[in-house]
Amino acid sequence: MTPFRPHGKGTLAEASLQSFVIEQASSVGLLGLVGFAYAAWFRQHRAAMGFVLLLWLALGLGATPLAKLSELSLAHDLTPTVSGWLPWNLLLVASLPSFTVASRAFFAVIVVLLLQLGIPLMIDPATLATMPSFSERIGALAPGNLSRWLAPLPQLVVLAAAFVFFLRWQKSDQLTELALCLMGSLMLLGVLRPDWLFWCVVGAMALLMLGVFITTHRMAFIDPLTHQYNRRALDYTLTHLSRKRQFAIGMLDIDHFKRINDRFGHDFGDHVLRMVAARIRSARGARVYRYGGEEFCLLFKGRSLREAVLRCNVVREAVAARPIAMRSPRRPAHKPLKKSAFREKVPSVKVTVSIGLAHSTEADADPAAVIEKADKNLYKAKKNGRNQVVSGRIRKS
């Protein structure tokens, strides 16, 4: 029994479930189309292909408004067709390189998916019901007892596709790849239980949509180099900052950063930015933003001036305590399993930071004025010899 296309009179429960699925068809199709458009707009091309695959599944299961209008689709149960092709299509999406939605390759994949649905509609339903699936054809080609061992082949193919998505996620750190990996896990459940396949499609669409939303949020508010909040996130936070709580803002600048770039190159300069950002995280109680270039902003909510000064000094000392080593060209891209697998003496550079801190004890203090005062204190710290914290207060005039 399938809840998508019960044939004949069927039971009342089957008819009710069929009616419910068709009533929810427009929502499922709309979710998939919106997800595809959103992913394509923000250049998440593999996620867009994932939505195309889910729309193909929904269309094959009859979970679109077309199922109401097409008598031909009502006469054909395409559930076995999409169930048979699903593992291989999922592996295809996982293994193909990422290409734009406007490319010929993307269009070719869509044509292949549509042919998989269109050709069975041209075949008589009785004949279609007796035809073996693609996975069954592959199993039939195996000699002797080998075909028995190939029975779980569809499940293994889905697992392989999910593993490929997992490897891509490990390499790229893109949440859309993780969402595609979870989608593959849901598709495995759908292959094992075909009567759950429709609900697996709905869940996979929701997961993929969530992954695209989180990825685009990170693109908008997270700095890709240091993985800290960016200037846009700071502006948004300051706009909604409660004036009833005291707060402090610290402006941090890497000392002689231009000299580091000119002497060692911009690649090492980027490495210094990443390392400094990692050490800034030691300031617990502060939210860190990359303000621009080599400048960072530390926002302390509900902290006194004394607490903010102490935490800024912790940051300053953490950065200056250990020189930053240059990366060797022979250094492996990933951390070796054994600590002794790679040992090489490389030159290191001592890096220090200067911090200007401003604090407000007034309920209606303007955050822009606090930043301006912190910036002035930063220039004082640099003028006084760098590698120090200069603090001050903003009071109501």
CB atoms within 10 A of CB 138: 16
- Give the pTM: 0.71
Same domain, 168 and 22: yes
Q: Is residue 2 part of a domain?
A: no
Q: Do 355 and 238 share a domain, yes or no?
A: yes
Cβ 349 vs Cβ 323: under 8 Å: yes
Q: Are residues 183 and 327 in the same domain?
A: no
Number of folded domains in the chain?
Answer: 2
Same domain, 103 and 137: yes
Q: Among 221, 244, 277, which residue terminates a domain? A: 221
Check whether residue 206 and residue 243 sit in a common domain.
Answer: no
Distance CA 224, CA 171 (A): 15
Q: Identify whether residues 142 and 31 lie together within a single domain.
A: yes
Based on the fold, state whether residues 126 and 236 are members of the same structural domain: no
End of a domain among 221, 240, 270?
221
* Within a domain: 7: no
Is 55 a domain residue?
Answer: yes
Give me the amino acid identity at 259: R
Buried b / exposed e along 31-53 (16+ C-beta atoms within 10 A)? bbeebbebbbebebbbbbbbbbb
Which helix (H) or strand (E) segment holds residue 286: the answer is strand 286-292
User: Which one, of 233, 239, 209, 360, lies nearest residue 288 by Cα?
Assistant: 233
Query: Which among 23, 136, 177, 294 is annotated as catalytic?
Result: 294
All residues at 6 or more sequence positions from 265 whose CB lies less than 8 Å from its CB, including other chains: none
Is the same domain home to 237 and 194?
Answer: no
Asked whether residue 85 falls in the same domain as residue 190, the answer is yes
Q: What is the mean pLDDT of each run of 10 residues along the chain (397 residues)?
A: 41 52 66 88 89 87 53 58 85 86 89 85 64 59 55 81 88 82 87 81 89 88 92 90 80 93 89 92 84 92 88 92 74 51 64 92 72 92 92 56
CATH number, residue 255: 3.30.70.270
The reply to whether 99 falls in a domain is: yes
pLDDT of residue 290: 94
Q: Does residue 6 fall inside a structural domain?
A: no
Domain that includes residue 22, residue range? 12-221
Active site (annotated) includes residue 294: yes
217 and 263, same domain (yes or no): no
